[in-house]
Amino acid sequence: MNLIYLHTHDTGRYLEPYGYAVPTPRLRELAGQSALFRNNYCCGPTCSPSRSAMLTGMVPHSCGMMGLAHRGFSIDYTKHLAQYLGRNGFETVLCGMQHEAADAGMIGYSRVYIADKAGMENATQWDEANAASAISFLRENHSKPFFLSFGLEHTHRPFTEFDDDLSRKYLRSPDPLPNSPEIRGDMQGFLTSARRADTVLGSVLDEIRRLGLDKDSVIFYTTDHGIAFPFMKCNLYDSGIGTALMIRYPGNPSAGAAKDSLTSHLDVFPTVCDLLGVPKPEWLQGKSLLPILENKSDEVNDRIFAEVTYHASYDPQRAVRTKRYKYIRRFNPEHTVPVLANIDNSPSKEYMLSAGLAEMAIDQEQLFDLDLDPNERQNRVHDGQYTAVRKELSDMLDHFMEETDDPLRKGPVPLPKGAFVNTLACADPESLREEDIFTQET
């Protein structure tokens, strides 16, 4: 059995099979052949921590990826799924996007095919070039099972293509943002990007089917975290940590089913091990979803955990989520407003800044009743009716942080040597001005 991992960038659940008016018919088709997990969550709503957590089976503070790989963070790559499957007899191939290492060669794939972006006009051309490499690999004669990771740049910012038929006149802004022309126009760019991603993924899925590889391959699709809009990416609200997850394999008794089970990206690695028939390594922190896939259980988790430490800037926070409740705790009490460098530059960000985003107070503790308040707007942390719930979830979080030796328990988390981030005073994540950067030199 082979493993094919398909992934887009910054997509959350904004896809047609999750009920959104996003033109992604090929992913809708894949969903009909897969088990679709409606309540899946990433471990950290920022690129490198999320991907590294899923592909090592450990939360970011356990695997070490507490910030962005291209800014100096790294992990023990011997625990990456690619190296683990390589040690278990798989050929491992990367085509396109990854964000677990500053240099893809560090990860340990057998082969790496990443197109040169020089001379390319947009992300579509780059994704198409990497799709061609993936298709070329799939057409080879395979003497042993393989693991193919095919990653897209779409739907990452900047949005440079805007399809006219996706007119901003007839769109709505994503929740929880105001329905303004500026944000609707920004959403037009996202929808176009999602359409391009869907088309490219469709070309690879067509080749998998043509070659008959769908008959002996596990295929899973996901993304790293929520879409790159304010209050979404790099936030521990469901709009930031909610991610699509579809798992397809031959003979799947849950093919075409939509599962409401509470699941985490941590569960992918152990699930893959079970489906491929390889032993599970001792370091995994997640649970196999096989009982859910085989309709033997509705749940394997009663809680999941998520975190942010560094993105462009330092913004330490941790969360625990159950089926009904979410508890978030922040660990930088001197900073009580949004960390602006952790919001990607965009028309949506500019609109929200003009509305006073920079001065908006953020509570250091938040508790949400997700049945009564699914958009997480009413903080119940000081509501007497929720005192017992607050204590229960706070204790859950404390126990998990202790059990996993979270360094945040001991105080601020230092940068690794050579890593750099933007200062809290900097609003622009793309700024490399000396006064906007903090670097750990020793």
Q: Where are the alpha helices (DSSP H) in 46-100?
A: 47-56, 60-63, 81-87
Cβ contacts of 272-278, under 8 Å, gap ≥ 24: 272/3, 272/81, 272/218, 272/220, 275/1, 275/218, 275/249, 276/1, 276/3, 276/85, 276/145, 276/218, 277/1, 278/84, 278/85, 278/88
User: Is 304-439 in the same CATH topology as 2-293?
Assistant: no
**Cβ(397)–Cβ(407) below 8 Å:** no
* Domain limits, the chain: 2-293, 304-439
**Whole-number pLDDT of residue 197:** 99
Q: 2-293 — its CATH code?
A: 3.40.720.10
- Nearest CA to 312 among 80, 69, 54, 67? 67
**Whole-number pLDDT of residue 388:** 99
Peptide bond into 176 cis (omega under 30): yes
**pLDDT level of residue 441 (50, 70, 90 thresholds):** low
Q: What pLDDT digit, counting tens, does each position of 399-431 carry?
A: 999 999 999 999 999 999 999 999 999 999 999
Give the pTM: 0.97
- Quickly name the fold that domain 304-439 has: Arylsulfatase, C-terminal domain (3.30.1120)
C-alpha to C-alpha distance for 130 and 289, rounded to whole angstroms: 30
Q: What pLDDT digit, counting tens, does each position of 229-241 carry?
A: 999 999 999 999 9
**Cβ(183)–Cβ(351) below 8 Å:** yes
**Cβ(39)–Cβ(261) below 8 Å:** yes
**Cβ(69)–Cβ(75) below 8 Å:** no
